[in-house]
């Protein structure tokens, strides 16, 4: 990787991935491209930034040519809950945007990272120790675009030789970027409310178990996969990866170890609860561990401790 483009750079993953890439490969070599969200100041000031609608194929092509891009981290998409509200827009952004990126990558010989999700699975998928290769019949528009994206990336690899790679992210937890409309957003919101108000109304049921990951591990996984030996990758699009699996109730109890007065109640959102119930409880990530050495650094206790410390400083509550 010498010249890198990050689409969706102002989102939850992109805002942190961009900075990690700039730190490793040089700020001038990593172009951040965003659309709807205003960029964080450090994102704009630390290196090249531009506005980009990934649905505009000509704009994508021009950007890749202007900056002589050789690697694209394609993160631009609508997330699960938002996609259910805006299915046509979600298909347009998630699928046509990906197709535009893959076409430009084919012509200009770029590698492409495409993040899939636990949303790519569905009610018929084994919920515990979900296999790397298993039935994928998602019941959400978001999940459908993720499965389609995995297959489309595979197609461009097998038919055109585009170096496509991806992971299936679990729910992601960050102390920097705010959530953007995902079903697992409660696992970020809960920390802000715990520090600010000492109470959280959760939109998922107390016993809803889902795979999760702290953002430093998510960022590390993307970079590690894209720098891995291509000859050792069998699955490519996309690898199961996970770091921890817990319920809202378990997360609340871990927070209470640090904030004993914290309380939680449950005001279930039927739409997001149905989505969560269709996803795996815990994925088997042995393929990623074997093929490119994936290992997470943060478990639940380590993540909770670090999140509370960082959020307290951020909110000036330390």
CB atoms within 10 A of CB 109: 10
CB of 206 closer than 8 Å to CB of 249? yes
Catalytic residue (one of 49, 67, 142, 169): 142
Q: Which residue has the tokens 């490793």?
A: 24
Q: Look up residue 38 and give its DSSP letter.
A: P
183 and 139 in contact (C-beta within 8 Å)? Answer: no
The residue among 126, 110, 17 whose CA lies nearest residue 67 is 110
Q: How far apart are CA 209 and CA 246, in angstroms?
A: 5
Active site (annotated) includes residue 142: yes
CA 230, 7, 92, 121 torsion: positive or negative? positive
Cis previous bond, 238, omega within 30:
yes
> Would you state the structure tokens that stand for residue 108, as one six-digit string?
């200009």
- DSSP designation for 137: -
- Give CA–CA dist 183/271, Å, rounded: 9
Give catalytic residues, as residue numbers.
142
């Amino acid at each position: 990787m010498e010249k890198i483009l990050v689409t969706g750079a102002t989102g939850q993953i992109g805002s942190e991935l961009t900075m990690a890439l700039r730190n490793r490969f040089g700020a001038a070599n990593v172009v951040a491209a965003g659309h709807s969200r205003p960029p964080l100041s450090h994102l704009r000031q630390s290196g090249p930034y531009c506005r980009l609608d990934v649905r505009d194929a000509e704009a994508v092509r021009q950007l890749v040519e202007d900056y002589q891009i050789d690697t694209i981290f394609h993160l631009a998409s609508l997330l699960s809950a938002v996609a259910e509200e805006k299915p046509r827009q979600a298909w347009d952004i998630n699928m046509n945007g990906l197709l535009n990126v893959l076409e430009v990558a084919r012509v200009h010989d770029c590698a492409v990272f495409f993040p899939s999700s636990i949303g790519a699975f569905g009610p018929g998928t084994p919920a515990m120790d979900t296999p790397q290769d298993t039935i994928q019949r998602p019941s959400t528009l978001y999940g459908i675009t993720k499965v389609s994206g995995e297959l489309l990336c595979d197609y461009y690899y097998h038919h055109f030789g585009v170096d496509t790679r991806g992971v299936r992210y679990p729910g992601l937890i960050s102390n920097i970027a705010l959530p953007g409309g995902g079903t697992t957003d409660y696992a970020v919101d809960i920390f802000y409310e715990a520090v600010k108000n000492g109470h959280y109304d959760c939109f998922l049921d107390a016993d809803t178990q889902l795979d999760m990951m702290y953002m430093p591990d998510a960022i590390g996984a993307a970079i590690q996969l894209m720098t891995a030996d291509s000859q050792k990758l069998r699955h490519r699009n996309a690898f199961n990866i996970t770091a921890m699996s817990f319920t809202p109730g378990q997360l609340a109890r871990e927070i209470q170890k640090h904030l004993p007065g914290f309380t939680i109640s449950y005001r279930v959102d039927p739409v997001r609860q149905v989505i969560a119930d269709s996803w795996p409880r815990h994925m088997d990530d042995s393929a990623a561990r074997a093929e490119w050495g994936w290992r997470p650094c943060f478990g639940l206790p380590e993540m909770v401790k670090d999140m509370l410390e960082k959020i307290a400083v951020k909110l000036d509550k330390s």
